[in-house]
Amino acid sequence: MKRVLSVMAVMAALASPALLAVASPASAQNAGQIGKAQSGASCAGCNLFQADFSNRELRGKNFAGARLRQADLSLGSFNRTSFAGGDLRDLNGFGALFSNASFVKANLTNATFVGAYLEGANFAGANLSGVNFSGAEMSSARGLTQRQLDGACGDRETQLPRGLRIPVC
């Protein structure tokens, strides 16, 4: 009987909400914020981790300071959108349109911008370590330095501002 009671006590303790919260994985994203942003709302400072924005038109939005790590923006349109100061590590921007977008002081480590249109985009102070710009059009991009591009890569089709070069991937 004592043993049955101790087993029941352990089971009751395991079912306690406090222990379940500790045992459950932390929410990596905010579904409400993702849904709001996918519907076209600006979402500065939001947690949009791994959000799917592929093939969406979200022009002129404010995602400054947002966490877009591992988000998929492929083939979307984000012209005049601010990603300033955001966490965009491992972002997929394949073939997307980012004309006049702001990436000022954003962390773009290991992001992919293969075939992206980045004319007029501002990269001042952005971390471009490991970024793939193969085939990207960015001849009028602003705020780029040779030091930033030395940590990124591209190919012969990558169009850069005059006087800048990029290592081949």
DSSP structural state of residue 74: T
Q: Per the domain annotation, does 2 fall within a domain?
A: no
**Amino acid (1-letter code) at residue 13:** A
Q: What is the CATH number of the domain that holds 41?
A: 2.160.20.80
Confidence at residue 6, expressed as pLDDT on a 0 to 100 scale: 40
Q: For the chain, what is the domain count?
A: 1
Instruction: Give the rounded distance of the alpha carbon of 168 from its chain centre.
Output: 23
By three-state DSSP, how is residue 10 classified?
Answer: helix
Where in the sequence is the domain holding 166, given as residue range(s)?
29-169
Confidence at residue 26, expressed as pLDDT on a 0 to 100 scale: 38
Q: Per the domain annotation, does 20 fall within a domain?
A: no
Q: Where are the alpha helices (DSSP H) in the chain?
A: 2-14, 17-23, 31-38, 146-150
Confidence at residue 29, expressed as pLDDT on a 0 to 100 scale: 77
Please enumerate in sequence order all residues whose Cβ is within 8 A of that of 133, keeping only pairs 6 or more positions apart, or say none. Answer: 113, 114, 116, 118, 152, 153, 154, 158, 166
Q: What is the pLDDT tens value at each position of the chain, 169 positions in all?
A: 444 334 334 334 434 333 333 333 334 678 999 999 999 999 999 999 999 999 999 999 999 999 999 999 999 999 999 999 999 999 999 999 999 999 999 999 999 999 999 999 999 999 999 999 999 999 999 999 999 999 999 999 999 999 999 999 9
Confidence at residue 154, expressed as pLDDT on a 0 to 100 scale: 98
| Residue showing tokens 């087993």 | 7
Phi, psi of 69 (to 5 degrees): -60, 130
Q: Per the domain annotation, does 161 fall within a domain?
A: yes
Q: Per the domain annotation, does 51 fall within a domain?
A: yes
Q: Per the domain annotation, does 23 fall within a domain?
A: no
How is residue 106 written in tokens?
């954003």
Confidence at residue 28, expressed as pLDDT on a 0 to 100 scale: 62
